Amino acid sequence: MKLSTRARYALRMMVVFARHTNGDRSVVSLNEVAKEAHVSRRYLEQLVIGLKNAALIRGKSGKGGGYLLAKPADEIPIRQIVESAIGPINIVECVEHPEGCLKADFCECRVLYDLINKRITSVMDSLMLSDLADDKRLKHAVEMLDSELATSGGRPCPQN
């Protein structure tokens, strides 16, 4: 599975908002986000729509306007950000819509696809935007996930 550019850029954008908000209600312009996230302003304008529709950010118009998080970063799961950009996480169509697959009733692999999908969404639900925005929190979150995988018989995440 590969995360799309839209999903990756939406995450980068939200990390910038989280780092600039720091609990207060200061706004960040798209120009600032573009510079810091290394993403074109035009692309960010497209992503803003999904993030606003998902009630993850709010806009402030006028002089000194921009965007800010609609709720605290520790209340925004990574999955919500990704899904605002690309829609529901679904590695293959038959997991979400088995009726669309002629082999769904007897496919040996469908259960594997479903398990993979559940693991991916579980990790994305367990990580919050605040974890990505803070290096110490991210390291701790990765350690916790590695510990959970070890106790369930999985393999740890590779360290960068």
Q: List the beta strands (DSSP E) in the chain.
A: 57-60, 66-69
Residue 138's pLDDT band (boundaries 50, 70, 90)?
Answer: confident
Give the phi and the psi of residue 2 in degrees, each rounded to 5.
-130, 130
As a whole-number percent, the residues of the chain with pLDDT over 90 amount to 51
Please state whether the predicted TM-score (pTM) of the whole model is above 0.85: no
Given the structure tokens 């207060």, which residue do they identify? 24
Of 25, 15, 24, 22, the C-alpha closest to 47 is: 15
Q: What's the pLDDT at 97?
A: 76
* pLDDT over 90 at 101, yes or no: no
What CATH number belongs to 1-87? 1.10.10.10
* Residue whose C-alpha is closest to residue 92's, from 100, 84, 81: 100
Listed by start position, the domains of the chain span 1-87
Is the Cβ–Cβ distance between 84 and 45 less than 8 Å? no
Q: What is the C-alpha separation between 19 and 116, in angstroms, rounded?
A: 31
